[in-house]
Each structure stands twice: as structure tokens, then as C-alpha cells.
Structure 1
Amino acid sequence: MMKTILLGVLLCLLPGRFGAVQAAPPRPNLLLILVDDFGWGDLAANGGAGVPTPRMDQLAREGTRFTQFYVASPICSPSRCGLLTGQFPARWRIMSFLQSRAGNAECGQADFLDAKAPSFVRAFQQAGYATAHIGKWHLGGGRDVTDAPKFAAYGYDVGWGTYESPEPAAPLGLKSVPWGKEREPQQVARHDRTRWMVDETLAFAKRSAGQPWLVNLWLDDVHTPFRPQDGKDDRDLPAKYRDVLIETDRQVGRLLDGLRALGAETNTLVLLAGDNGPEPSLNRTRNGGLRGMKWSLYEGGLRTPLLARWPGVIPAGRVNDTTVVSAVDLFPTLCALAGVPAPTGVKFDGEELSAVFKGGARPRSKTLFWEYGRKPAPTAKSAIRAFPYPGEPDSKSPNVAVREGDWKLLVNADGTGAELYNLRADPNEAKNLVSVEAATAERLKATALAWRKSLP
């Protein structure tokens, strides 16, 4: 009789079909690689700019490549704000690159991202993740802005920033700009910065092996100036760009190899994207023929690569050409993928697309909006350049844009200069249909202007 009772107890404790409650699957690690000024065509898998990117292409083959991914802004600071908060960046009064106090005032923007803003990093930290920011920040700090919140205010356990951050890492330069030729004694060379960031990412992952971890690895390549080596380099700009992109790709590969060596490959969700379009576009090769570049609301300024890999969850070898995905979607989507509770009371401008990342296909339900360029370029050379603008032909856009389905409309905030494109038929925005499709143009113009007027 006693043997029968003991056998019954043991069977109840066994998992599976005997009815015991199974443990929840472990939450994935999260590695978000943001490549600076990474054009849609910089990725060879997207057609490429004639530069091989074999390791990023491998990441694309091992996961899903999204071809209709949009950033929140065509310039660094607001783009990063939208990614971190899941909200359009102007809601937090960030509309251009964060700069000196005088420059920020000229833009009418804040000096830093408010610590009260939502942060997907904070949500993951509260769910038990070890969290780190490594690399470019550009959401406050640097120059004469000395009161920006520390990384901990946004949910980071560790923060190693660059010059444009509240806590610059010594090897990245405490007071020196990364694009300058001068270097502090402890500062790594410009061409060696990505290697240093990759090393620190792997070291953090190794130290955090006892719990799930999150790293925002935000590179400052492939941003100009291109300095692929120490000393004098008289080669032309395309040759330097080529070497910088090749080295960036090599370091991404070294990072992925390092995850495998740590045994973290299968349970790490890896995302790789750009923060905005390229500058320069090199005759549109770096944006795959798309019109525009950094600082422009045309496709070349807003659309960048997006790769996602999580073995066994995100389909391998898949290309999603149909779903429009935005950086503001990533906050709710990453929370859903990882089983992390999203904060209550936050009104996301993005939508939760975890089913799409897992292989589904559906159109987005929320309209996308952008704005950039609230003030014209100054005429005096000595004036503050609050909003930089592209100098390449046909790249300077109106300053408000909206995408709804296949339609994209651009218009100035004063209602002038409307342009309408059907992106399915005309992804390079060559044929303005504002007169042909007048009803659609008027409807989207009203929608775009109403949104713009709702912003601070």
C-alpha cells in the first residue's frame, strides 16, 4: 500500500502528460544592435552598395529580414527617442539632434529625454533583466548640458556612453568628440571603437549569465567621418566608407560568434537596425535607390534595414516585404516576445507586432507620422545649424509626412508643398500623384496637419 502511494506522488511530480505544472520557458536575452547612419542599401542582402556584408547577411538568413522598416525620425536623437519610448519623439520635445543649450533652444526642444518617459529597458529591468547601454546615446549630456539624467534613470544597470551622454566611458573619450582627430591618452582609436563596444557587450553577457540580460549596443559607425585607420589617409570617401562598413560587419560577426561561444545563441533575440538613412548616400547606392538620405522624410531618410533572429521562434530565411514596421512598434513587440509586462497607462504610438515577428503577415493598423525641420537653414555661416538639411539633389523634403497603407503624403506644416506617392508602385517617390489622386491627397493632408498641430 505504501509503495502505491509513493508511486502516485512521484507520478504527480513528473512533467508533461501526468498533469504537473510545467515551468515557464526562460525569457530570452535581448541584444539590440543599432548601426549609426546605416542606409537601407548598406546591407548587401538588400541589394547593397557594392560592399560585402557577409556576417550581417548571415544574420538575415538565420532570421527574418524586414524590408519595410521605418525609423521614428531621419536624425539620431529623435530616432533613438522613438525607439526607446515607443512614442513619436516630438511628444518628448526632441525634434533634432541634441546639441548645446543654445542649439536646443533654437530648435525649441528639450536638452535631454525626460526621465519620466517610457523606456522598454526599464520594463525589462523591472522584469528581472540585467541591463546595459554600450555606445552612442545622444539622448542628453555632452557639450554644455551637464544635468542630463544618468543611465540608471532609464532602467540601465550599466551605462558606457560616448561623448554625447551623461556618463561617457573613458575608452570612448571623456571630453573628446568621436569624429575628432585628437585623442585622449586612454581613448581607443576611431577605427577601434566598435571592437571595444563588442568586447564590452560580450563581457557583460558573460557576467550576467545567471539571469536574462539586455544590451542596447548602439554603434557610432558607419557615421562620418570615415576613419578606417590611424594616420593620414588620402583615399577618396567611397574607399574609406567601404573599409568602415567591412570592419563593422566583421565586428558584428565576432559578436555573434561570441554569443555562440557563451552558449547564448539559441536563447538570445538579436535585432539589428539603423537609426536613420545614410549621409552621404553615394549617388543613392547606400539607400538602394530610394529617394532622400539622412535629414529627409523621403524613404531614403526613414527606411533602414531590420534583421531579427531568435532560433526556434523567429522564422529563419524569411523576408517580410509586406508588413510596415516602425521603431515605435518595438517597445510593445519586444515585451510581448519576451513575456515582459508592458507598463500600464502608456499610450504607445506603435503597435504590438509579435505575431508578425513569429512569421505571420498582416497589414499594420496604426498610421505612421513623421516630422523634421521646424526651422529653415540659416543663411549666415556662423549661425546655429539647428536642423541640418541634405545637400544632395531631390533629397530635401517637406517637413511633415504620413503613411497609411500604400500611400505616403508629405506636406509642409503651413499646408504648402504637398506630395503624394503610392509606395507599392513607386517606392523611389518619383511620381507625385497629388493632382491625380486629389481626394486621397486632401484626406491625408488634413490627417498629417492635424497630427502636427497636436504636438508640443
Structure 2
Amino acid sequence: MKFNFKLLLVVLSAFSVHAFAASDQKQPNIIIVLADDLGYGDVGFNGAKDIKTPELDDLASKGTKFSSAYVVHPFCGPSRMGMFSGRYPHKFGGQFNLPQPARGYVEYNKQGIDVNEVLMGNVLQDAGYYTGAVGKWHMGRGPKYHPNARGFDDYYGFLDGGHRYFPEDYESIYNKQVKAGNKRIHSYLLPLEHNGKEVRETEYMTDALSREASRFITQASAKDKPFFLYVAYNAPHAPMEAKAEDMEKFASIKDKKRRTYAAMVYAVDRGVGDIVKTLKATGEYENTLIVFLSDNGGKPEQGADNSPLRGEKGDAYEGGFRVPMFFHWPSKVPAGKVFNYPVSALDFYPTFAHLADANIPATKSLDGVNIWEDLLADKNPRKNSNIYVMRYRGADVDIGVRMNEWKATKVVNKPWKLFNINKDISESNDISAKYPEVLATMVKEAEQFNQSHRQPIWFDSEKAGEQWLKEQKGAKTPVFKNTFEL
């Protein structure tokens, strides 16, 4: 057999090129920017006319917008727990918001996201990432639930579900209550912390969180490793408090609630602009994936607009858990595109782990999928699979199920309805009579989904817990009367 030297050179050349290309692939920095209670229609890139969001719009136009992005739950705590665990919170007992500690529910105040859940931050840490979280946590207060114990090297913010915005206001009230000996001070008034130590904040909350995000990026850029940053703004969540100069920019909005809300959204937009400037100044911009979204839908009573969706925060209608979202990563994420297929915040965990070349523990259960290749190919990453939302109302439940073009919705005391959500985004034309077999299949799968759940570990109030326990009568999985009947 004659030795083919030329063929060997070709093979070696191809191998060396491939090896170089593989070694040249840097792990990307990853930033999640999460707004709080932001309406679907309240950013320019999603159609807002009265609210200016130039920084977000610029990133969205240079990246890919998601028209059918869903979060895991229609309100704060469970939504975040689902995103970071990659699992529906119903499966580990996190279906309710953790209660406000000042209410004094001692047992519930000791709870947090299951310590057996390996969170996204842990996996990225193990892959060599320097990790930081800024802002609202809302996944547990005790030492074993603290961000520093759940995958974050650096944390600046507040642990509960919200906070006042102006330090000159909340510090004054806090100090008076401490002086009066109040042992149950509302957590919206508490001092902020940096890695477990109290700090004295001096800036408007949204600006302070933006400052800390930039501080983290600057510090991270000096390290010989990629970084993961979670920026969890509490804006535009209540209390509705905006800077006077931001309010002036929206003087044309006559409704004061809407004007205040718009100013709070604008402050988030300004902060994102500061983050981008810091990325460019540190040379990290080109290798950073920025993901922007809201934790759930907006509340119209506080000035939000979820148009053209039906419903609001807390709903199983689209307005409760379908959110504005984009991915931005120069030369990696398609620019100027709209991805119309349904995706979930559950998908972040496996997708980011893929991009980071991170190892997900073999024992880790995930409800999300890696969407990366399908995103690039403009293909449905969740073809024929369901995205669920379940919100408990006392001992009853609202349910939404999205699969391909279909959306099945059930709210308390009303029958199941079916919509072609691609043609009827506002869920106004029930077509269940025309496609009964489609609805029947989706309802059956929703029932099977419910059977995989645990009873809640905590409740947002003692009354809710008492009512729930009375109705459930010791069942191992949540039981809802007639919910899954057509």
C-alpha cells in the first residue's frame, strides 16, 4: 500500500485549523437584565409610542427580538425560581411568593428555593465564570438561600420582593422605626447589602443598581475568566416613585400613574445604556450576550400596558406571562431579526450552559431546552411541546398552555377556551368548538403536568396556607375540583 503524503498533509491541516478554531472560541460573558412588572407593550421595540426606551431599542434592533417569549409564572418569586432552576417551581413547592417578613410568618420566613436545586449560577461558576447578581433576589433570606450561597460570587441589592426607591425617604422611616423599637420593619425600608454586609445607599434605586452592574463588569473584566451577571431591577414595580427629571421627559402623558410608570421604565433604559458603555470601555462588548426581559406581565392599575395581549400580572392569559425579550450578541445573534416561535425562561439554563461549555449535573432535572441552534436556524425549538403557566387562587387554579400555534386557557369558574394564538394574540376568539380534539389533548396533558407537582412549601399568607391545607386534605400532589374537565 502506497503512503499518500499529500493526503496526510491535508488531514493534518484540517485538524489543526479545527483545533485552532475550537481553542479560539472564548466562553461568552452573559448578562440577564430583568425588569419587574414591565408590560408587554411598554418598550419601544415592542410598540410603545409614549414611553421612550432608546437604549433597549438599539440593542433589540441589533439583536433578535422574541415575539413569543414566556416566563415561568405570572408573578415575581416563582418566576425567578423557575428561571434559575430551569424547572417549574411547582415541582419543588415554590408556587407562591415568599411572604413579606414583616408579617411575622416565622416558618415561611425560613424558607427559600430548594437547596437541592443546582441553580444556573452554580453551573456557570463551576464552568469558570465569575458571577454577580445585582438587585432583587426574592428566592429566600436565610444563609443557605443567600445569593452568595446559590452561585454568585458578588451580590449587591435586597433579598425580598421589592424596595422603596429614594434613600432619603426609606432611611428616614427605617431609622424612626428602629428608634421606636419596631421588630417587624417592612423589608422595602431595610438597608441594602453587599455580600451580606449592610451598605448605606445614596442614589435613586434604579441608578444605584445600574452603577453596581457597571462596577461588577469593570472588576470582572480584570479577571482572567468570563463573567455572568444578573441585573434584577425592581422597576417599574410598586411603589411608583420616579425622579423629577425623568418625569419631566414625559410631561405629555397626562395620566400621572402612566407618567410615573414611564419615567421608571426610562430609568431602567438609561441604566442599560450605562451597562453597554461599561462593556465597550472594558473591551467586553463584542463577547457579551445580553438578554433583556420582564419577570411577568405589567399591572395596568399602576400604569402598565400589556397591549395587544389580554390580561395582566397574575393571569394565565398571555398578559400575565408573555413578556418583551431580546438577545443581543454582536456577530453571534442574528441582527434585526424577530424570532416568532415560543420559548421559555426555562430554556436559559440549558442554553447558557451550552454556550459556556458548562457541565449540567447528571442528576439535575430540567424543564427547559437548549434553543441556541434553533434560534440561529430560525426553527421551532419547542415543536409539539407545551409551555405551561399555573397560578393558584386560594384552593383553585388558573392555567394556560401554549403549544405551537395553540393556546388553551382556563380561569377560575370559567370553561376552558382554545385560541390560535398566532392569529388571535388577544385571545378574543374561542375556537374550542371547532377543534375539540386539540383542546382535549392539551387539557389532558395539563392534568398530567399537575400530577408531577409537590404541595407548596410556603404560602404568601397564613390565611392562604390555612385555606389550602383545608381543601387539599393531605393529598401528595395539588388537587383541583373539576379543573381538568371539559
* Same fold, TM-score > 0.5, yes or no: yes
1:294-309 equivalences in 2 (<5 Å): 294-309=313-328
Q: CA deviation at 1:182?
A: 11
Correspondences of 1:402-413 after superposition (within 5 Å): 402-411=401-410
- Deviation digits for residues 49-105 of structure 1 (CA, Å, limit 9, x no counterpart): 521111100010111111110000000001001110111111121112211479898
Matches within 5 A, 1:145-184: 146=142, 149-164=145-160
8 Å CA contact 1:104, 1:111 repeated in 2: no
Q: Which moved more, 1:431-440 or 1:218-227?
A: 431-440
Tell me the CA shift for residue 419 of structure 1: 1.7
Kindly provide the amino acid, as one letter, of the partner of residue 81 in structure 2.
C
The SS at the match of 1:271 is: strand
Task: Read off the aligned partner of 2:99 and give its amino acid letter.
Answer: Q
Deviations 1:197-252 (A, max 9, x none): 12212222222222111111111011122211379x99721111121112221111
1:61 equivalent in structure 2: 61
The alignment status of 1:325 with 2:325, answered yes or no, reads no
Residue aligning to 1:387: none
| Whole-Å separation in 2 of the counterparts to 1:253 and 1:33 | 12
Q: In structure 2, the residue corresponding to 1:304 is in which secondary structure?
A: strand
TM alignment of 1:172-211, pairs within 5 A: 186-188=200-202, 192-209=204-221, 210=223, 211=225
Change (3 A) 1:341 1:358: farther
CA shift for structure 1 position 412: 5.7
Decide whether aligned partners of structure 1 residues 72 and 217 sit closer, same or farther in structure 2, where only a CA change above 3 A counts: same
Q: Once the 2 structures are TM-superposed, how far is the Cα of residue 254 of structure 1 from its aligned partner? A: 1.5
Q: Which moved more, 1:148-157 or 1:88-97?
A: 148-157
Residue number in structure 2 paired with 1:382: none
Partner of 1:312: 331
Change (3 A) 1:359 1:50: farther
| Structure 2 SS opposite 1:266 | helix
Question: Are the equivalent residues in 1 in contact too, given 2:30–2:228 (CA < 8 A)?
Answer: yes
Which of 366, 379, 388 pairs up with 1:348?
366
Which secondary structure state, in structure 2, belongs to the residue aligned with residue 221 of structure 1?
coil
Q: 1:439 aligns with which of 437, 444, 447?
A: 437
**Secondary structure at the residue paired with 1:297?**
coil
Going from structure 1 to structure 2, the CA distance change for 1:359 and 1:338 (only over 3 Å counts) comes to farther
Gap change, CA 1:33 and 1:20, over 3 Å in 2: closer
Matched, 1:272 2:277: no
CA distance in 2, matches of 1:88, 1:180: 31
Q: How far apart in 2 are the matches of 1:179 and 1:49?
A: 32
Change (3 A) 1:150 1:430: same
1:374 deviation in Å?
Answer: 4.0
CA distance in 1, matches of 2:84, 2:45: 26
1:367 paired with 2:367, answer: no
Structure 1 contact 333–354 (Cα < 8 Å) conserved: yes
1:422 paired to 2:420: yes
- CA contact 1:34–1:219 (8 Å) conserved in 2: yes
Q: 2:191 and 2:268 mapped to 1: Cα distance?
A: 22
- Look up the match of 2:119: 119
In the alignment, structure 2 segments of 5+ residues that lack a partner are: 1-8, 162-166, 175-184, 193-197, 248-253, 455-486
Q: Deviations for 1:162-200, whole angstroms, at most 9, x for unmatched residues?
A: 1418xxxxx8989775756999993345xx212111221
Q: Which residue of 2 aligns with 1:244?
A: 264
Q: Give the 3-state SS of the residue equivalent to 1:315 in structure 2.
A: coil
**Is the aligned partner of 1:259 residue 2:273?**
no
Give the letter for the 1:96 counterpart.
F
- 1:91 equivalent in structure 2: 91
The structure-2 alpha-carbon separation of the partners of 1:107 and 1:309, relative to structure 1 and needing over 3 Å to count, comes to farther
Q: CA RMSD in A?
A: 3.6
**Inter-CA distance 101–202: structure 2 relative to 1 (3 Å threshold):** closer
What is the alpha-carbon distance in structure 1 between the residues aligned to residue 378 and residue 47 of structure 2? 24
Q: What is the match of residue 232 of structure 2?
A: 218
Question: Tell me, which stretches of 5 or more residues in structure 1 are unaligned?
Answer: 1-10, 166-170, 378-397
Decide whether the 8 Å contact of 2:101 with 2:186 is kept in 1. no
CA, structure 1 residues 18+153, in 2 after alignment: closer, same or farther (shift >3 Å)? closer
Instruction: Tell whether the 8 Å contact from 1:271 to 1:306 is kept in structure 2 after alignment.
Output: yes
State how 1:23-62 maps to structure 2 within 5 Å: 23-48=23-48, 50-62=50-62
Closer, same or farther: CA 402–105 of 1 in aligned 2, 3 Å? farther
Q: Secondary structure at the match of 1:208?
A: helix
CA distance in 1, matches of 2:18, 2:453: 53
Q: Report the Cα offset of residue 150 of structure 1.
A: 2.2
Describe the shift of the 1:239–1:101 C-alpha distance in structure 2 as closer, same or farther (beyond 3 A): closer
For 1:16 and 1:416, how far apart are their aligned partners in 2? 63
Q: What is the TM-score normalised by the length of structure 1?
A: 0.81
User: CA 1:254/1:410 → structure 2, altered by over 3 Å: closer, same or farther?
Assistant: same
Report the more deviating stretch, 358-367 or 117-126: 358-367
Tell me which residue corresponds to 2:357. 339
CA distance in 2, matches of 1:109, 1:364: 37
Give secondary structure in 1 for the equivalent of 2:286.
coil
Shift of 1:375: 0.7
Give the number of equivalent residue pairs: 412
Distance 1:400 1:56, change over 3 A: same
Q: CA deviation at 1:405?
A: 1.5
Structure 1 letter corresponding to 2:324: P
Larger proportion of helix: 2
Q: Structure 1 pair 92/437, CA: closer, same or farther in 2 (3 Å)?
A: same
Q: Distance in 2 between matches of 1:319 and 1:223?
A: 27
Paired residue secondary structure (1:335): helix
Distance in 1 (alpha carbons) for counterparts of 2:215 and 2:106: 41
1:152 to partner: Cα distance = 2.7
- Provide the TM-score with structure 2 as the length reference: 0.76
Give, in whole Å, the separation in 1 of the partners of 2:445 and 2:336.
Answer: 37
Distance 1:359 1:282, change over 3 A: farther
Rounded to whole Å, the distance in 2 between the matches of 1:295 and 1:376 is 15
SS of the aligned residue for 1:38 comes to coil
Q: What is the DSSP-based 3-state SS (H/G/I as helix, E as strand, rest coil) of the residue aligned with 1:34? A: strand
